[in-house]
Every structure is written in C-alpha cells, then in structure tokens.
Chains A and B, each alone.
Chain A
Amino acid sequence: MTELRIAAVGDIHLGEDVRGQYRKSLDGIGDRADILMVAGDLTRHGTLEEGRVVADELRDLPIPVVAVLGNHDYHSDMQHEIASELRDAGVIVLNDDSAVIECDGTRLGVVGGKGFGGGFAGKCASEFGERETKNFVRHTRLIAESWQHALKEIDADRRVVLSHYSPIKETLEGEPLEIYPFLGSYLLAEAVDTAGADLILHGHAHRGTEKGMTSGGIRVRNVALPVLGAAYAVYCLADE
C-alpha cells in the first residue's frame, strides 16, 4: 500500500532580509513528500516585495505546491497581486475554492482559503447587532459555506482542507483564551464535518498546539512554523 505524503507548514512570514533561507530548508523535499501545502501568513506585511520573495522561495520545487493566504498577506491590500506572483511561480493558490492534484495515481482534492474568526460553539460572535459585527460573522459563514460546497462538488480519492484560521479550539491550546475568537471559528469545522474530509491543516496560532480533531473526528493539524519548530511536517495518508 502506498501512502500520500503531505508536507505542510504555515506562517513562514518571509521578508527580504531572510531571502533564500527558507528555500534551503526545502532541499530534499521531493524525497520526503509528494506535495507541499502552505497554510497562509507567507509574508510579514503583505507587500508585493515580500510576495515576490515568497514566490521565489517556492518556485520550481520538485513537487506541487498548494497555498492559501493569511491575515498578514492581506495587510497591504495586495492579496490579489501576491496571489498572482505565486501563481506565476507555479504555486496553486486557493481562495475558497478547490484543486485536484494527481499524486502518484491518487487524485488529491484540496479545498480551502484564508478562513476567518468568530470563536467557538457556545462562546462565539453571532450575526446580531451592529453592522460591523454582522459583517465579521457573515464573512466567516460565507467562507464556510463555500468550503462545504467545494468539498461536496470535488471528485477526488482523498480530500484535504487547507486554511489559515483554525476550525477548532484544541489546536489553539497555548494561546490566551481571550483571543480565541480572532484565531478561528467552529463554522469552518462544522462545514467540513458536514461534507467530509481526511485532514484539515491550518496555521495562524503561533503559540498553539499541533494536534487536534473536529467533533466529527476529522484530524486537524496546526502547522504554524513556530508550533512545528521545523521547516515543515509530513503527514501520510494511507492510500485507498
């Protein structure tokens, strides 16, 4: 039985001053993994210059690269330009949509995007009151709906969700409780549990915990680089 080997990392936060360094740590990745997934916060300030550094670091790797953006990548309102730079470098950038990648005969479906916050069941914001609050929660709800839809539509042997924000609380352990609503939303997990998936990867919570699970039993991994303490982790899915 062969396995699908998924290398994953988030929050690489690259800038001009560290150009070339992350790339070095990707040496030999083709021997260790079949695909690389990058869970957002690729830059520090979301400038085009930083986006170009990221594109160069991820360019021409021996395996396909799928990425989503994170909140930092939106900071300078250059998210579309950064995504184009990445796409020009051959990176598949998901924005609440999906891609199917052929890996060694297995069709791997990846669904995802930035995600957003709002908090976790029983302790979360709702679409009530001020326009600003409603917009905040609505943004997350629409994202969750598009992921659920994409997961249902996709025709693949394996399905992985790639997000920046967290779908569950467990992988936030280590972060201050007070900021949980800004780190993720249970609406994301609910959507994925409804449609089904094999694995959810996220970043954003630098002080969080690597391993967790949704209420529906889908494995969740926080792959933020400071959490992994490594250039990337590798998750192997048994081939069906």
Chain B
Amino acid sequence: MEAPQYVAARVQAALAEDRRTHELGIRVDVRGDQLFLRGQVSGAEQRERLGEVAREAAPDLHVHNEINVVEVGRPGEVEHLD
C-alpha cells in the first residue's frame, strides 16, 4: 500500500498542476482511508473543482472538502505609516 504521505503529496501536486484548479495553497492530510482538504479559496466553484480533482487523484479515499470560501467584497483596514 502507498504510504499516506505519498498519497497526500500526489494529491497536492494534482491540485497545483491540474488545469481545472492550479491551486498551490491547499493542505492535504490522509488518515487511514480519509482524505482532508483545508485552505482558503475565493469562490465556491474553485472549492468544488478542488474536491473533484482530489477525488480523481485518490479514488479509493473518502474526500472531506473542508476548504473555506473567503468573501472579499469589502475593502480592508487603513494603516498610517509614519
């Protein structure tokens, strides 16, 4: 059986390299037959695509898509540098 660390690395590479996602900042953890995705993306569609690519890359694992969608509709803080 492939060691869980290698499975996680393979899934992470797929998320980065697959044309549908190209997402580099996602954390992938494997525990037994469960795979967990964590991180932040800017849209719900990107989150779904990441789950899809992960499921294809590790078809034997149960994928838990725990990625957060961050809404960034408003401007942030103002900082005065002096």
Identify B78's interface contact among A45, A206, A228, A236, CB under 8 A: A236
Q: Looking across the interface, which residue of chain B has its beta carbon closest to that of A175?
A: B25
CA distance A210 to B74 in the complex (A): 17
Q: Tell me if B19 counts as interface (CB < 8 A to partner A).
A: yes
CA distance A206 to B70 in the complex (A): 12
Q: Tell me if A107 counts as interface (CB < 8 A to partner B).
A: no
**Partner-binding segment picked from B28-36, B38-46, B54-62:** B38-46
| Interface 1/0 per residue, A196-240 and B, CB below 8 Å | 001100000011000000000001000001101111111111100
Interface centre among A45, A230, A233, A237 (most CB of B within 10 A): A230
Q: Which residues of A contact B45 (CB under 8 A)?
A: 17-18
Complex contact A18–B42 (CB within 8 A): yes
**How distant is B71 from chain A, measured CB to nearest CB, in Å?**
9
Identify B79's interface contact among A12, A29, A231, A235, CB under 8 A: A235
Identify A230's interface contact among B25, B40, B46, B72, CB under 8 A: B72
Q: Contacts A219-B81, A236-B81, A237-B81 given: A72-B72 contact, CB under 8 Å?
A: no
Q: Tell me if B82 counts as interface (CB < 8 A to partner A).
A: yes
Complex contact B79–A232 (CB within 8 A): no
Q: Contacts A45-B22, A206-B25 given: A235-B81 contact, CB under 8 Å?
A: yes
Complex contact B80–A236 (CB within 8 A): yes
Interface centre among B23, B46, B76, B81 (most CB of A within 10 A): B76
B→A interface (CB under 8 Å):
19, 21-25, 39-40, 42-43, 45-46, 70, 72-82
A→B interface (CB under 8 Å):
3, 5, 7, 12-13, 17-18, 21, 24-25, 28-29, 32, 44-45, 72, 75, 198-199, 206-207, 219, 225-226, 228-238
Some 23 contacts from A to B, beta carbons below 8 A apart, are A12-B42, A17-B45, A18-B43, A32-B75, A198-B81, A206-B40, A207-B25, A225-B72, A228-B72, A229-B70, A229-B76, A230-B76, A231-B73, A231-B76, A233-B75, A233-B79, A234-B79, A235-B79, A235-B81, A236-B79, A237-B81, A238-B81, A238-B82
